[in-house]
Amino acid sequence: MQYEPIRRLVKAAWPDQLPILVQANELIPEMCRLPYDYFFRDDPEAVAECTILVWEYFGFTYLRGNLEIYNYEAESIGQPIRFYRKSIPDVDRSDFFLKSLDDLSSIRFNGIESGRFPYFFAYCEAFEKYAHIPPQINLCAPWSLACNLYGYENLLDDAFSDPELVHEFLQTLQDRLYAPMMTAFREKLPSVDIVRYADAWASLPLLSVNALDEFVFPYYKKLEDFCRSIGIKTVLAGIWGLAKLSSDEERYALLKNLIDTCGVAVGCDPDAEQLSPEWFKAAAEHFSVPLSLGISSSFMEAGTVSEIVDRVRKYVSVGKSCRTPFSLTLNNIGPGMSAEKIHAVVQAARFYSRPDVSGEEPFAPEERESFAEFVKARMENNPDRLTFQWLSRSTLL
């Protein structure tokens, strides 16, 4: 097969092909057979190269910077981080940076040399060098950052007992961390014009709709406004749970707020499965925004290839009939996912998105070469001059 540079995959995305958007943070070190601590702490060049190779191998459409998303800001302030050989890094939840919210003066931006920001920027530079496009930057949204500095339970307790103190905490993060940090990012990464903020700690049922309205959306809006003032667009992502609400009136109200933060009606499993892809299609058309339907990693891990293809058929058949643009999302593909299943999703999505396919036709995925075989061939056909130095730490070949 032809191993064209990744930029051509991006340019081919829309309208010629159905965009397939993927988060694959843990899949990439697994595919490349690298220790997680080495991958996420020590070798940003390897992360860039391995990200590009995995995207090329599966033929995904849209590139996201595949770093672990939630820890860089917290670590730069002084939050201890734990690294593991076989799992993604996480904050040390036995030792939160803030033991109380009585003194918030310790929150400050310590510069782009603090924490793993040098690693982060080195990754961005390497990615752009090899992919020939800027990486999409993924950072942590204010509420989830507050949880990682203070603890979800602690933050929720204070939100009930002393909400004004939590408001002060979130405002302090905006003034003393996000504003100077994003200014520095703008100067360091002038080619990057969009940042995606992840906020999984703000999902239902972890928070109520009232808490989202009080503590999440207002502070994201402040961050959005500041970033816009320095030439950076923002997207809020990772919040799910519409199916937890009991009425369409409540769901539409929350979805409208979510659309205001990202411009897309996003229906990821389990929401899409429980409410139906048709529900999200109707919502996208109601709000006149693009539709994105997402298949969960847990379903892909538990399901057979036949079951997975059938869900792709259903989601794509509904999505492509939407009056607004449609994309398919794979929600954070897990590290144990078989390559066979991922290839089945991509191939089935391409097949059922064709205008001449009704959705009733049977589909059988084609067998592909192994990732190791792909990498060997890619080393011989290397137009972007990847170094492949990470193979010295890998058990892939």
Per-residue pLDDT of the chain (397 residues; tens, 9 = 90+): 333 444 444 444 444 578 898 888 899 999 999 999 999 999 999 999 999 999 999 998 866 666 888 999 999 999 999 999 999 999 999 999 999 999 899 999 999 999 999 999 999 999 989 988 888 789 999 999 999 999 999 999 999 999 999 999 999 999 999 999 999 999 999 988 889 999 999 999 999 999 999 999 999 999 999 999 999 999 999 999 999 999 999 999 999 999 999 999 999 999 999 999 999 999 999 999 999 999 999 999 999 999 999 999 999 999 999 999 999 999 888 888 999 999 999 999 999 999 999 999 999 999 999 999 999 999 999 998 999 999 999 999 9
Identify the CA nearest to 66 among candidates 54, 74, 84.
54
Whether 213 is covered by a domain: the verdict is yes
Q: What is the DSSP string of 115-149?
A: TTHHHHHHHHHHHHHHHSSPPPEEEE-HHHHHHHH
Whether 232 is covered by a domain: the verdict is yes
Rounded alpha-carbon distances, angstroms, from residue 2 to 216, 314, 342, 348, 370? 45, 30, 19, 20, 15
Provide the domain limits for residue 172: 67-239
Q: Which residues of 91-112 are buried (b: 16+ CB within 10 A; e: fewer)?
A: beeeebbbeebeebeebbbeeb
pLDDT in tens, 172-191: 999 999 999 999 999 999 98
Whether 178 is covered by a domain: the verdict is yes
Whether 211 is covered by a domain: the verdict is yes
210: tokens are: 């009232």
Q: Please, what is the angle between helix 142-150 and helix 152-161, to 10°?
A: 110
Q: Are strands 194-198 and 233-237 parallel, antiparallel or unpaired?
A: parallel
Number of domains in the chain: 1
Report the CATH number that the domain containing residue 182 is assigned in CATH.
Answer: 3.20.20.210
Whether 191 is covered by a domain: the verdict is yes
> Across the strands, what pairs with 237?
198
Residues 259 and 265 sit within 8 Å (Cβ to Cβ): yes
What CA–CA distance (Å, rounded) separates 22 from 332? Answer: 7
Q: Which residues of 17-48 are buried (b: 16+ CB within 10 A; e: fewer)?
A: ebbbbbbbbbbbbbbbbbbbbbbbeebbbbbb
Amino acid at 27: L
Residue with tokens 């309208």: 15
Identify the CA nearest to 242 among candidates 293, 309, 303.
293
What CA–CA distance (Å, rounded) separates 46 from 23? Answer: 17
**Within 13 A of 28's CA, how many CA atoms are on the CB side?**
29
Residues 45 and 389 sit within 8 Å (Cβ to Cβ): yes
Whether 383 is covered by a domain: the verdict is no
Query: Which residues, at least 6 apart from 166, have a Cβ–Cβ distance to it below 8 Å?
Result: 101, 146, 155, 158, 159, 215
What CA–CA distance (Å, rounded) separates 222 from 228? Answer: 10
Q: What's the whole-model pTM score?
A: 0.93
Whether 379 is covered by a domain: the verdict is no
Whether 299 is covered by a domain: the verdict is no
